[in-house]
Amino acid sequence: MTDTENKEFIFTEGELQEIKMHVAKYPEARSAVMPALWIAQNKFGWLSDQAIQLVADTLGLSFAHVYGVASFYTMYFKKPMGKYLLEVCTCFSCGECGGKEILQYAKKAIQADEQGVSPDKLFWVREAECLGACDTAPVMQFNNGHYVHALTEEKIDRLIEEVKSGKLPQYERIPLNNQSLIG
């Protein structure tokens, strides 16, 4: 039995209204495919073929078109992974400031398998391309949303413990003079 066999693939009335709101912003419904995929991924946890078909049917598009968009962007998950994605930037600035070591530490801290997933399927760690926050390197993006700046092993440990206890990271305000982030 797969993850998708017991799920009913429908959008709620509220989700359909949200998709209609996105469709209304554009001259063609297909332009709303990315926010519709995002809504589906948030609902189902990942984009199975059934979830992609639901988006295609909702927008009046072909499965191939919607699958093409979903498979192009790394923010859309095409297989079940951990519930919470931790993406550690390892590009030049972050890499030089310890991003590669933090990535390895995060994998070790969650006891990641070869896919980067924790045994309890709560966390998924992977390398990220530039997150555009070089001034607060190394940086991590949490679940395609909030950034965690000036990463340390202690920050990783604290984040993992807080998420396990039900507290998700909040927006972190970074002052222009970010000396408070350094050491």
Tell which CATH classification among 1.10.10, 3.40.470, 3.90.25, 2.60.120 matches the domain 13-72.
1.10.10
pLDDT of residue 74: 85
- Using CA atoms, how far apart are residues 98 and 76, in angstroms rounded to an integer? 27
pLDDT of residue 121: 93
Say which CATH class 84-181 falls into: alpha beta
pTM of the model: 0.75
pLDDT of residue 178: 53
pLDDT of residue 182: 53
Per-residue pLDDT tens over the stretch 93-143: 999 999 999 999 999 999 999 999 999 999 999 999 899 999 999 999 998
User: What strand order describes the sheet that includes 146-148?
Assistant: 123-128, 84-89, 140-142, 146-148
CA distances from residue 121 to 16, 18, 84, 113, 152 in whole angstroms, order as listed: 29, 29, 9, 10, 23
- Using CA atoms, how far apart are residues 183 and 181, in angstroms rounded to an integer? 7
Number of residues assigned to the chain: 183
pLDDT of residue 2: 43
Higher pLDDT, 183 or 69: 69
Per-residue pLDDT tens over the stretch 37-88: 999 998 998 999 999 999 999 999 999 999 999 999 988 999 888 999 999 9
Q: What are the structural domain ranges in the chain?
A: 13-72, 84-181
